[in-house]
Structure 1
Amino acid sequence: MDLQKPPPQPQYPEGCLAVAIRIPVRIVVLVLVLPVRMAWDALVVVGRFLKDTVLRPAGRVLLWVGRALLVWPWVALWRHVLVPVGKALGRLGHVLVVVPLGWLYRYVLTPAGHALARVARGIGAGLGWLYARVLAPVGRGIAWLLKGIGILLAAVGAGLYAAVAWLLRYLLVLPARWLYEWILAPVGRALAWLAGAVVTGIGAVLYWTARILLVLPALTLWRWVLAPLGRALAVVAREVGEALGHAWRIAGRISRAVGRALATLFRWIFVEPLRWVYRTVLTPVGHVVRDYVLQPVAEAARAVRRTARQALTSARDSVRQARADLRRMLLGEPRPPVAVNRREPAGRDTRTLGSSKTALTKD
């Protein structure tokens, strides 16, 4: 529950409308919000209990089952089937495809390519000689001939262009310019001035008509109706919002108090009687059962186990002795161990570093 107080807000002067609607709105909102807050707190407690006791263990079980059914088989298939098969196919492809293709490239395609390159170089040399000795001189002669024809045609075309340009200038351009400067331009300026005056007048009439019929009524409606109504609705909405927040916090405290009362009642009705029964009835009975039933049974079981272990040990020793006697009867006594001479003197004749009887200083 969020029981922390909100940060203090700056205080502004309030009107009589806000003071008049604050208390009734807060009472009504508290009555409406309190059941919702208590239901929300109950759902939160139930959700936490279900998450800790049901959903989380079930999720772990489903995760383990999902891994066992989906992840581990694929991992085993990849690790023990696909990877070895892929390596085997890779080696087989290397032996059957890469090695033959390498041999084919090295011993067949490379020599054939070198031979084709030599043939192509020979053909290119022949074509180069043909171009340099035959085609280039013929092309230069044709180009010189075409250049002379082009110069002649250019001179003829320049003369015709000058004559046509002179005719167009004095027959079309100069009369058209005179017509534009002395007739069309003055007439156009007069028509533009007349159209501007007409449009300006019509625009002024439409402006004042729209201002009188639309703007002034809309401004009056906004200033004297909509703005005061909006301010009143803003005050109501602010008060309702503050009432909702205040009612939510108060409902949280009430819900917390109710929850504590229910928890205390549950403890007094169920927990404390069960604890008293456990302490005053079940614990002494358990001690009696432990001291007079379980401990004697355990001692008897331990004594039986010790007796059985001793009997088994005695039987094992008897079997071992009988087997040794049977071996002695069939094979005879075992030979005594032979003493091995390790070439070490005994007693006071033991070799030392200061003695002259060592292997290095012996005469």
Structure 2
Amino acid sequence: MEPMDKDRRVPDRYEPGEGCLTTAVRLPVRIVVLVLVVPVRLVWDALAALGRAAHRTVLRPLGGGLAWLWRTLVVLPVAWTWRTLVVAPLGWLWRTLVVAPLGWLWRTLAVAPAVWLWRYVLTPVGRGIAWLVRGLGVALVWLGKALFVWPWVALWRYVLAPVGRGIGAVVAWLVRYLVVVPARWLYAHVLTPLGRGIAWLVRGLGTVLATLVRWIVVVPLVALWRHVLVPSGRVLAVVVTVVVREVGAAFGHCWRVAGIISRAVGRFLGTVLRWLFVEPVRWVYRTVLTPLGHGIRDGIWRPVRQALRTARETVRQTRRELRRALFGAPREPQPAAAVPPRREPGAPGTRTLGSSTTALTKD
């Protein structure tokens, strides 16, 4: 178990000048936390070491072997069988026996008649129906305007609008002189003075009530908050802060101390196991098994291998001699004679391009 950097660090020392409350809380908290943390840290380090050893020596090789067996014995054969014996033949049969005939039937019996019907029947009929509907719509729009729009427009423009403008003028004059003018006089000479008096009265009552609330409620509450609650809260905050800080520091300090103890215990147990098991096994391997293995290799295995090699060569030589005695020596391959290429017929007395002899200089 390798020590970590954070376990190597020495616990931080506290700054001088701390209060008596911190000193009184620190020692009991550290003692209690150390008693509680040391067994937990020992168990935790032992389980972590055991888990790492099991993962390194058992789980990882076992998982790799199972994965290789699954891939070799199941995945690769199934994939090869599926691709070679199932997918390729079925795909070829599907394309040849189903897709190609169905595609030809669909193009011949459905697509071509539908295209001809759309192009030479439905398109001209649709264009004629569209022209007829367009003309009928224009006629209906003109007839609707003549029957429903133009009479009402003329009635509104020449009858209802002038009458409405006259009635509106009369109603506006009546509303102005019967409602607006009396309401303006009432607001200016009655409601405004009355509202000013009410506002002055309300302002005075508000000032009195605000003064009473301030001296009866606000000032006592501020004094209570400033001189009682704030000092009490500060004292309580200091106490809680000190306790929480000391508990946290005690846990960290005790966890590091427990790590040191755990490493010491682990080193002691490792040393004991090494001297009780590893060193005797290493001594037996080095002083007994290694010379014995060298002796077996040099005295038994190497002569046996040499004898087997000699026997194998003897058997090969004997088999070669028996074959030669029964069937004769194998025929040696004859090298083919090099024949120069002939460019012209080799008739005597003729001039050749590959020779310097001509008809004038030959013997």
- State the TM-score, normalizing by the size of structure 2: 0.71
Q: How far off is 1:268 after superposition?
A: 0.9
Separation in structure 2 between the aligned mates of residue 217 and residue 78 of structure 1, nearest angstrom:
88
The answer as to 2:228 corresponding to 1:224 is no
Q: How far off is 1:125 after superposition?
A: 7.8
Letter in 2 for 1:54: V
Separation in structure 2 between the aligned mates of residue 278 and residue 173 of structure 1, nearest angstrom:
123
Query: More displaced, 40-49 or 5-14?
Result: 5-14
Equivalent residue in structure 2 for 1:320, among 318, 323, 327 = 327
Equivalent residue in structure 1 for 2:58, among 54, 59, 73 = 54
Query: More displaced, 263-272 or 108-117?
Result: 108-117
Equivalent residue in structure 2 for 1:165, among 172, 177, 181 = 172
Any unmatched runs of 5+ in structure 2? Answer: 343-351
* Residue 356 (structure 1) aligns with: 357
Question: How many residue pairs end up in the alignment?
Answer: 341
Equivalent residue in structure 1 for 2:87, among 66, 72, 81 = 81
* Residue 36 (structure 2) aligns with: 32
Query: More displaced, 285-294 or 3-12?
Result: 3-12
Q: Given the superposition, is the C-alpha separation of residues 344 and 203 from structure 1 closer, same or farther in structure 2, using an over 3 Å criterion?
A: closer
Query: More displaced, 229-238 or 25-34?
Result: 25-34
Letter in 2 for 1:176: A
CA contact (8 A) 2:22 2:242 kept: yes
Q: How far off is 1:269 after superposition?
A: 0.9
Query: More displaced, 153-162 or 21-30?
Result: 21-30
CA contact (8 A) 2:11 2:253 kept: no
* Residue 345 (structure 2) aligns with: none
1:136-156 CA distance string (max 9 Å, x none): 8x8499738843662232222
Q: How far off is 1:162 after superposition?
A: 1.5
The answer as to 2:305 corresponding to 1:301 is no
Letter in 1 for 2:7: L
Q: Given the superposition, is the C-alpha separation of residues 215 and 81 from structure 1 closer, same or farther in structure 2, using an over 3 Å criterion?
A: farther
Query: Tell me, what secondary structure is at the counterpart of 2:7?
Result: coil
Q: What is the aligned-residue RMSD (CA, Å)?
A: 4.6
Letter in 2 for 1:276: W
* Residue 330 (structure 1) aligns with: none
Query: More displaced, 181-190 or 48-57?
Result: 181-190
Equivalent residue in structure 2 for 1:259, among 258, 262, 266 = 266
Separation in structure 2 between the aligned mates of residue 110 and residue 284 of structure 1, nearest angstrom:
100
* Residue 236 (structure 1) aligns with: 243
Q: Given the superposition, is the C-alpha separation of residues 11 and 56 from structure 1 closer, same or farther in structure 2, using an over 3 Å criterion?
A: same
1:6-64 CA distance string (max 9 Å, x none): 89899575333334444454444334333333322222222221222233234434545
Separation in structure 1 between the aligned mates of residue 77 and residue 211 of structure 2, nearest angstrom:
86
1:143-190 CA distance string (max 9 Å, x none): 388436622322222112222222232223333333333334433443
Q: Identity rate of aligned residues, in percent?
A: 39
Alignment of 1:190-205 (within 5 A): 190-205=197-212
Letter in 2 for 1:143: W
Q: Given the superposition, is the C-alpha separation of residues 95 and 229 from structure 1 closer, same or farther in structure 2, using an over 3 Å criterion?
A: same
The answer as to 2:130 corresponding to 1:104 is no
Separation in structure 1 between the aligned mates of residue 297 and residue 58 of structure 2, nearest angstrom:
35
CA contact (8 A) 2:38 2:255 kept: yes
Letter in 2 for 1:14: E
The answer as to 2:291 corresponding to 1:284 is yes
* Residue 45 (structure 1) aligns with: 49
Q: How far off is 1:246 after superposition?
A: 2.8
Letter in 2 for 1:119: G
Q: Given the superposition, is the C-alpha separation of residues 340 and 71 from structure 1 closer, same or farther in structure 2, using an over 3 Å criterion?
A: closer
- State the TM-score, normalizing by the size of structure 1: 0.71
Q: How far off is 1:274 after superposition?
A: 0.7
